[in-house]
Amino acid sequence: MTFLVFGRSGQVATELARLAPDAVFLGREAADLSDPEACAQAIRDHAPGAVINAAAWTAVDLAEDHEDQARVINRDAPAAMARACVAGDIPFVHLSTDYVFDGGGDAPRAPGDPVAPQNAYGRTKLAGEDAVRDAGGRFAILRTSWVFSAHGANFVKAMLRLAETRDALNVVGDQIGGPTPASGIAAACLTMADRLRGRPEAAGTYHYAGTPDTSWAGFARAIFDMADKEVAVTEIPTTDYPTPAARPLNSRLDCRETEAVFGIARPDWQAALADVLTELGVTR
């Protein structure tokens, strides 16, 4: 099956290129998500076997002042993609986020739980989900969290960079979630797209996040331990680290339905972290 991927240089798109080197990857110059119709036309032109949307507005804090622009990219573009896929009877996998939830409580959120995004980014991503669901067809919305890899900007690379000049860091300890390797997300997208071809009834919303759940502080300690960096981590509350966009305290995701329907289990983020550090040339 031929894959058309929106996104080329992001973390998930980079991993998709490793797993599906024959796929067609569309960067901004080929399909600008600020032009939704261009995205739909790209699908019609390529007539792929499946489409994966691995591109989005992901600048969470910047979205607070640019929500209209973020909405075009995170809602209008996926909506156009979804409609084009329905017209061509093409499986469509769309990535979303735990930020569609309010971040309250301490129980993992299931796909059908009530949503209440607390920032502009979450609102635009939820609007994109709704548009994809409204289009119908052979779609899968895959919510994930705390993505990391050896590529692009992410928490792992930020911690390693800080470790070069710091021997102590304050890291938020009351936000809890599952760090998720981009490599696992890419593999999940390919599996879901393939299954949707033969099982249209599997269409729906799913969750995929690493296990075990931890805090940002716990994630940081694991990074420094595996990388053999002597950095003391002091846990601080979210209130001591204010950001323009509110962050959810509870990013736990219930991923059981993803395993039940697609046979995709939660990835061990610690094992994936070891692989990422090896790729970055950081080992004990």
Using alpha carbons, list the distances in angstroms from residue 99 to 2, 116, 122, 192.
Answer: 31, 9, 5, 22
Told to judge if 121 belongs to the known catalytic residues of this protein, a careful annotator would answer yes
Query: CA 76 to CA 33: how far, in whole Å?
Result: 8
How do the residues of the chain divide into helix, strand and coil, expressed in percent and rounded to 5? Answer: 45, 20, 40
H or E element, residue 185:
helix 182-198
Tokens of 191: 């599996």
Query: CA 63 to CA 158: how far, in whole Å?
Result: 21
Query: CA 96 to CA 205: how far, in whole Å?
Result: 9
In the set 121, 206, 208, 241, the catalytic residue is: 121
| Long-range Cβ contacts of 131-134 (<8 Å, 24+ apart) | 131/75, 131/76, 131/78, 131/79, 131/82, 132/78, 132/79, 132/82, 132/92, 132/94, 133/205, 134/79
The residue behind tokens 């694991």 is 222
Q: Apex CA 182: angle with CA 27 and CA 60, to 5°?
A: 70
Residue 248 backbone zone (phi > 0: left; psi -120 to 50: alpha; other: beta): beta
Show which residues are catalytic.
Answer: 121
